[in-house]
Structure 1
């Protein structure tokens, strides 16, 4: 598909902003997928191309957190494996099962996540506070299930991982965000593999947008480590509620029109 230089430049700029937001709270696809569709990309190719460019952003943020010492891959290897397997199964399953039922539940999950971050008094664990799940239990229960969800559908995956790390793993919000990006990158790669096998990504466009997403994600990761909870907490709330309202509008437009 031939796109003008102006449209390409705009898509790169959108990808950079999406990468910046994604590194802190997730939800960057709210910007990039509509932008790709508006540029005339068919839906299946838009989703695949978005996954291609966003993989570079999640890799950029993950690499920054790993190099800063915020994340130790050695302690996350089982979660990484389980997330990859879950995402691969999800990406396979979605090709054979109607996702409408699960799609209708997502707004409820996102509202619950934003409410948790909004009303929790503290998102920093106490020194003697033990996690509710061991590393292995977290990997099998959360890594596999959320990975499956990301491969199957995807909206709000970063927010779901973050709240699980905070509520069940008892990590600080900064540590949870860093670990979330590692598992986000894992599930992105798993799902992207299936898109590639289907020949769906538009490589030239996806790799061009990836430049912007990579830079934006790196800047977002720096903000997380520099400002931590002050920035991430309200952004997670805003992005979760925005995703929930977007999905509700798509599923039940008359309901929202009657409310607003």
Structure 2
């Protein structure tokens, strides 16, 4: 099905991307908003995934830079895990070409449900800095590339996975954890975008319009995250995780 690209379509996609950027800067899961809307509008699946990764990568870059400028995260401290996220995503994107990702259809909803319940039932999660449960090297060379691999291979919930890992394993405050998650997610997104660009799947004009919306939403969300911290981030993570579980179930049983 071909989509007629009129001003109304671009306007809708601009505001959808802005909302997705705002939510993604706080809790991750912006693709949960963008992908269904583009699919409903009739865009081909591969074009949807590729264009979502393009505009999402700019959104995660914008929110990362915003948090760096505000001193929430330091790139020097996070450059190694960010690189490992990129490497993991590259491997995941290559593997997705070879096997069926439906093997994760049952596992991922359970993991997302567990993350949502963790933040819902543990109000103190990420309220203060705590001692790390694992040292830096196992986290940087094991946990981060594994999540990056998942993002390249499948994708939904990556931001929430990074945030949870930063809080539970490295003892980060929830605001810093969310900021680091955006940087790691940017690195993994770039890897996927590169593959899609080579494959000619990106809709550049649509992506350019959505990037403008993403930047506005990402900056706004990052500022809100710094100002309001866990009061805003924690409930959004819960909502996003539960929403993704519902989406998975609907796709599985009602498609």
Q: Which range, TM-score by smaller chain?
A: over 0.9
Counterpart-to-counterpart distance in 1, 2:188 and 2:126: 26
Partner of 1:230: 231
Counterpart-to-counterpart distance in 1, 2:37 and 2:85: 28
Instruction: Tell me which of 86, 89, 107 is aligned to 2:88.
Output: 86
Partner of 1:7: 9
Following superposition, the deviation at residue 239 of structure 1 comes to 0.5
Counterpart-to-counterpart distance in 2, 1:125 and 1:216: 25
Partner of 2:181: 180
Deviations 1:180-236 (A, max 9, x none): 000011101011000001110011111111100111010000000000000000010
Counterpart-to-counterpart distance in 1, 2:57 and 2:39: 19
Instruction: Tell me which of 39, 50, 53 is aligned to 2:52.
Output: 50
Q: After the TM superposition, which parts of structure 1 deviate over 4 Å for at least 4 consecutive aligned residues? A: none
Q: Is the 8 A contact 2:50 2:196 kept in 1?
A: yes
Q: Is the 8 A contact 2:16 2:33 kept in 1?
A: yes
Counterpart-to-counterpart distance in 2, 1:116 and 1:141: 22
Following superposition, the deviation at residue 121 of structure 1 comes to 4.1
Following superposition, the deviation at residue 39 of structure 1 comes to 2.2
In structure 2, runs of 5+ residues without a counterpart are: none
Partner of 1:17: 19
Partner of 2:98: 96
**2:216 counterpart of 1:215:** yes
Partner of 2:71: 69
Query: What SS does structure 2 have at the residue aligned with 1:252?
Result: helix
Counterpart-to-counterpart distance in 2, 1:252 and 1:163: 28
Counterpart-to-counterpart distance in 2, 1:207 and 1:2: 17
In structure 1, runs of 5+ residues without a counterpart are: 255-260
Matched residues, number? 253
Partner of 1:140: 141
Partner of 2:107: 105
Following superposition, the deviation at residue 76 of structure 1 comes to 1.1
